[in-house]
């Protein structure tokens, strides 16, 4: 099976907890707070590995977890940071957020990396909270949880030239004849069940990558046949060789039907340069219909050639023509990696919602982060959280909305009881 689309779950490492500790040494009076910070968790990154060609490795493992940071300790000892988790993907991998379907990045070049889950920062120890008015704070923070998300990885093969056409037109035969690729070849439709790649070397200065796309049929853009699963691979190619079956009842009708499917799937596909080749010239009757097919194609503005992939007739000339078409195309601008995360305009923004008669929900990036990192069994930490709610205006907003003593206020995963 050719794995070109998978869903995976990634979880960055949580930050380590901060420590509450005091320096207690002989002959050192008033040692003061000495709780260290927790370590940062490990992030999750995707990087391009040129030795991979499919997403098969993700068929066995779908969940990936980075290391968490170590907790802080006394004597101002900070916890060690967790190692980043690096996940290899093949060139040509598109990365989407599985829930929002937002594209996070396009990994095509060796050396490209993409952060897909941010690590949680370590919680601060009580040494960080010492001030002139509070010289012995008993306050610390939990580590921030690392981000977790589902990703959809989609592979689009990187090839210069793509072979398209109806089933059994001879695409696999041509690929095997001009490259070292060995696709399955048989005298029945839909022999090819997955895309195949091969490198064409015409001379020391002329070479390109050729892709054999499984046969397309009418209705492929709507999910009929096998081709709809692989149409996206054609998007990466710059030139198309459209192979016509010389033994077909109507090669020109086949040509029009396939182009219609390309246009229905993506308008950009229909605008790609096409070199049309009538195949199977070694078979009886095909040579006689070539002048009519050639005239019709050239009238539509398509360069046309006649070949026999099995006998090797005209294939070298066809490939040199495709190489010239590649050289004549303008250079593609380098792709810029999209930013992985787009921060909101204001992290302190929040919203209130009444979920039941006595239950309220507070949502917001900063307030939920504060709730996750607050150590609830330390009174000073709770008072600090309360001051943060007042500073952000959440206390006033809840009171104006009608919150009553004894009501439950939910912030993230925390359920708090409202008191005057």
Give the 3-state secondary structure of 282-304.
CCCCHHHHHHHHHHHHHHCCCCE
**How is the chain split into domains, by residue range?**
1-155, 161-328, 351-417
CATH code, 351-417: 3.30.300.350
Look at residue 81 and tell me whether its pLDDT is greater than 80. Answer: yes
Instruction: Give the pLDDT confidence score for residue 339 in this predicted structure.
Output: 44
Instruction: Give the pLDDT confidence score for residue 360 in this predicted structure.
Output: 92
- Expressed in percent and rounded to 5, the helix, strand and coil fractions of the chain are 25, 25, 50
Bigger pLDDT: 3 vs 37: 37
Give the number of other Cβ atoms within 10 Å of residue 362's Cβ.
Answer: 22
Instruction: Give the pLDDT confidence score for residue 312 in this predicted structure.
Output: 87
Look at residue 8 and tell me whether its pLDDT is greater than 90. Answer: yes
Instruction: Give the pLDDT confidence score for residue 153 in this predicted structure.
Output: 92
What is the edge-to-edge ordering of all strands in the sheet holding 351-356? 351-356, 359-363, 408-411, 414-417
- How does residue 335 score in pLDDT terms, banded at 50, 70 and 90? low
What is the edge-to-edge ordering of all strands in the sheet holding 85-89? 85-89, 44-48, 113-117
- How does residue 83 score in pLDDT terms, banded at 50, 70 and 90? very high
Choosing among 1.10.3720.10, 2.40.50.100, 2.70.210.12, 3.40.50.2000, the CATH entry for 1-155 is: 2.70.210.12
Look at residue 138 and tell me whether its pLDDT is greater than 80. Answer: yes
Q: Which residues contact 132 (CB under 8 A, 6 or more apart)?
A: none
- Which one, of 67, 56, 50, lies nearest residue 12 by Cα? 67
Instruction: Give the pLDDT confidence score for residue 216 in this predicted structure.
Output: 63
Mean pLDDT taken over the chain: 84
Q: Which residues contact 303 (CB under 8 A, 6 or more apart)?
A: 275, 276, 297, 321
In three-state secondary structure terms, 86 is strand
Nearest-angstrom CA–CA distance, 76 and 14: 20
In three-state secondary structure terms, 365 is helix
- How does residue 186 score in pLDDT terms, banded at 50, 70 and 90? very low
Instruction: Give the pLDDT confidence score for residue 338 in this predicted structure.
Output: 45
Instruction: Give the pLDDT confidence score for residue 150 in this predicted structure.
Output: 96
Look at residue 242 and tell me whether its pLDDT is greater than 60. Answer: yes
Query: Which of 5-9, 68-72, 91-95, 260-264 has maximum average pLDDT?
Result: 68-72
pLDDT tens for each residue of 339-387: 444 444 567 889 999 988 899 999 998 999 999 999 999 999 999 999 9
Nearest-angstrom CA–CA distance, 252 and 321: 21
- Kindly state the tokens that stand for 416: 């708090």
Model confidence, pTM = 0.68
Instruction: Give the pLDDT confidence score for residue 126 in this predicted structure.
Output: 93
Look at residue 96 and tell me whether its pLDDT is greater than 50. Answer: yes
Look at residue 218 and tell me whether its pLDDT is greater than 70. Answer: no
Instruction: Give the pLDDT confidence score for residue 225 in this predicted structure.
Output: 45
Instruction: Give the pLDDT confidence score for residue 132 in this predicted structure.
Output: 87
Summarize the confidence of residues 129-155 as an average pLDDT: 92
Helices 286-299 & 251-265, crossing angle to 10 degrees?
A: 40
Instruction: Give the pLDDT confidence score for residue 220 in this predicted structure.
Output: 43
What is the edge-to-edge ordering of all strands in the sheet holding 161-164? 196-203, 206-212, 161-164, 239-245, 274-279, 304-306
CATH class of 161-328: alpha beta
Instruction: Give the pLDDT confidence score for residue 330 in this predicted structure.
Output: 81
Calculate the alpha carbon distances from 405 to 374, 385, 400 in Å: 22, 18, 13
Summarize the confidence of residues 29-41 as an average pLDDT: 90
pLDDT tens for each residue of 269-317: 878 899 999 999 988 888 899 999 999 999 999 999 999 988 889 989 9
**Among the listed ranges 113-127, 241-255, 318-332, which one has the minimum average pLDDT value?**
318-332
Nearest-angstrom CA–CA distance, 309 and 288: 18
Look at residue 189 and tell me whether its pLDDT is greater than 70. Answer: no
For 195-206, letters b (16+ CB in 10 Å) and e give bbbbebeeeeee
Calculate the alpha carbon distances from 281 to 166, 244, 310, 380 in Å: 17, 11, 9, 87
């Amino acid at each position: 099976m050719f794995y070109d689309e998978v869903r995976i779950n990634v979880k960055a490492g949580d930050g380590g907890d901060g420590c509450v500790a005091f320096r207690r040494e002989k002959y050192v009076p008033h040692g003061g707070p000495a709780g260290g910070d927790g370590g940062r968790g490990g992030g999750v990154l995707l990087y391009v590995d040129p030795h991979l060609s499919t997403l098969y490795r993700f068929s066995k493992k779908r969940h990936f977890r980075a290391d968490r940071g170590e907790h802080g300790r006394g004597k101002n000892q900070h916890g060690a940071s967790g190692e980043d988790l690096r996940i290899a993907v093949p060139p040509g991998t598109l990365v989407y957020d599985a829930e929002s379907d937002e594209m996070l990045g396009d990994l095509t070049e060796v050396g490209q990396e993409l952060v897909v889950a941010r690590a949680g920062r370590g919680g601060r120890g009580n040494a960080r909270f010492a001030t002139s008015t509070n010289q012995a704070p008993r306050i610390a923070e939990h580590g921030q949880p690392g981000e977790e998300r589902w990703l959809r990885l989609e592979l689009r093969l990187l090839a210069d030239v793509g072979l398209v056409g109806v089933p059994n037109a001879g695409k696999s035969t041509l690929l095997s004849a001009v490259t070292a690729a060995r696709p399955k070849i048989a005298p029945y439709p839909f022999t090819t069940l997955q895309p195949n790649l091969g490198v064409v070397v015409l001379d020391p200065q002329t070479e390109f990558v050729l892709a054999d796309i499984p046969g397309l049929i009418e209705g492929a853009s709507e999910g009929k046949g096998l081709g709809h699963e692989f149409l996206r691979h054609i998007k990466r190619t710059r030139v198309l060789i459209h192979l016509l079956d010389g033994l077909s009842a109507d090669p020109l009708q086949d040509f029009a039907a396939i182009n219609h499917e390309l246009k229905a799937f993506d308008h950009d596909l229909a605008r790609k340069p096409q070199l049309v080749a009538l195949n199977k010239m070694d078979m009886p009757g095909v040579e006689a219909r070539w002048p009519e097919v050639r005239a019709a194609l050239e009238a539509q503005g398509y360069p046309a050639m006649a070949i026999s992939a099995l006998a090797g007739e005209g294939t070298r000339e066809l490939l040199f023509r495709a190489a010239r078409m590649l050289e004549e195309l303008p250079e593609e601008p380098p792709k810029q990696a999209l930013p992985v995360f787009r921060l909101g305009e204001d992290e302190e923004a929040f919203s209130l919602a009444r979920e039941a008669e006595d239950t309220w929900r507070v949502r917001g990036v900063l307030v939920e982060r504060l709730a996750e990192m607050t150590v609830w069994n330390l009174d000073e930490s709770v008072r600090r959280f309360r001051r943060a709610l007042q500073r952000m205006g959440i206390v006033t907003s809840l009171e104006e909305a009608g919150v009553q003593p004894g009501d439950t206020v939910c912030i993230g995963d925390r359920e708090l009881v409202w008191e005057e």
